[in-house]
Amino acid sequence: MVMFPGAGFVAEPDIGSPRILLATSNSHKLEEVRAVLEPMGFDVIGLDDVPGSHPEPVEDADTFEGNSRLKAIGYAQSTSMRCLADDSGLEVDALDGAPGVHSARYAGIGDDRPQRDDANNEKLLGALDVVPDARRTARFVCCMCLADPDGSIMAETRGTFEGLITREPRGDNGFGYDPLLFLPDVGCTSAELSPDEKNARSHRGSATRLMASELIRLGGDESSGA
């Protein structure tokens, strides 16, 4: 038996070591997905592990689902590998769901990821400055799509992570808006959780566990192209 972190037990698949390309160069995302899939025998690699140059698909869909499909299909075709892609972000109810699909570049400034994260967090706090605590409800959303090199979509999953936007950043773990999503039931932000605690309850952890079940159903390495 193999245990999904925070999600009970499932039967261990007899599929060897199937290789899955995760369409990202974000080391934090790779760590979170690997923490779920690698104990089950999946070999998860990122774009930096694939030789050659692969054009980045234009993410111009207006939903997380749409962008995850664009990335999964685009990179599966350019790498000739079965590809898993996610699109994720933050939805704030008081802002009518913003920043949503624009979460990564919400502020529109910053030369690298840490600078963009700081600018995004600062802009979000400014936008919610006069919003009372009870109305600062929000959630992280993660939509995952698995595509084959022929462009066919094999599976899709969705996970959410509910909380409230705090008044100031708290915590050093995670990335993006993690320091701002307060979890009332545990009295801390997402960035104050340990990696294992975060993976057990986060949007990406949930979507990845659901995708693991789909990968087992699909038979693992049949058409990975690796």
Q: Which domains does the chain have, with CATH numbers?
A: 9-218 (3.90.950.10)
Query: Which has more pLDDT, 65 or 6?
Result: 65
What average pLDDT score do residues 142-169 get?
Answer: 97
**For the whole model, what pTM was predicted?**
0.86
User: Does the bond joining 5 to the residue before it have cis omega, within 30 degrees of 0?
Assistant: no
User: CB neighbours of 30 closer than 8 A, spacing ≥ 6?
Assistant: 22, 24, 44, 46
What is the mean pLDDT of the segment spanning 21-29? 90
Q: Is 113 left (phi over 0), alpha (psi -120 to 50) or beta?
A: alpha
Average pLDDT over residues 96-102: 97
Give yes or no for residue 17 having a pLDDT over 80.
no
Distance CA 69, CA 193 (A): 30
Question: Does the pLDDT value for residue 13 go beyond 90?
Answer: no
What does the mean pLDDT of the chain come to?
88
User: Residue 55's pLDDT is what?
Assistant: 85
Most confident of 26-30, 56-60, 79-83, 222-226: 79-83
DSSP state of 54: -
| Distance (Å, whole) CA 24 – CA 26 | 5
pLDDT of residue 169: 96
pLDDT of 225 above 60: no
pLDDT at position 12 is 42
> Which stretches of 97-171 are DSSP H helices?
113-127
| Cα-based distances in Å from 132 to 5, 94, 169 | 35, 10, 17
Query: What was the pLDDT predicted at 221?
Result: 46
The pLDDT score that the predictor gives to residue 209 is 95
Measured in degrees and rounded to the nearest 5, phi and psi for residue 142 equal -130, 120
Q: Which of 2-16, 112-126, 203-217 has the lowest mean pLDDT?
A: 2-16
> How big is the CA angle at 28 (ends 36 and 61), to the nearest 5 degrees?
95
Sign of CA dihedral 179, 181, 184, 186: negative
The rounded percent of the chain whose pLDDT value lies above 90 is 75
Q: Which residues pair with 165 in a beta bridge?
A: 181
Q: Which residues are catalytic?
A: 87
pLDDT tops 80 at residue 204 = yes
User: Which of 82-86, 105-109, 141-145, 195-199 is the least confident region?
Assistant: 195-199
Q: Which of 5-14, 86-95, 148-157 has the lowest mean pLDDT?
A: 5-14
- What region does 33 belong to: left with phi over 0, alpha with psi -120 to 50, or beta? alpha
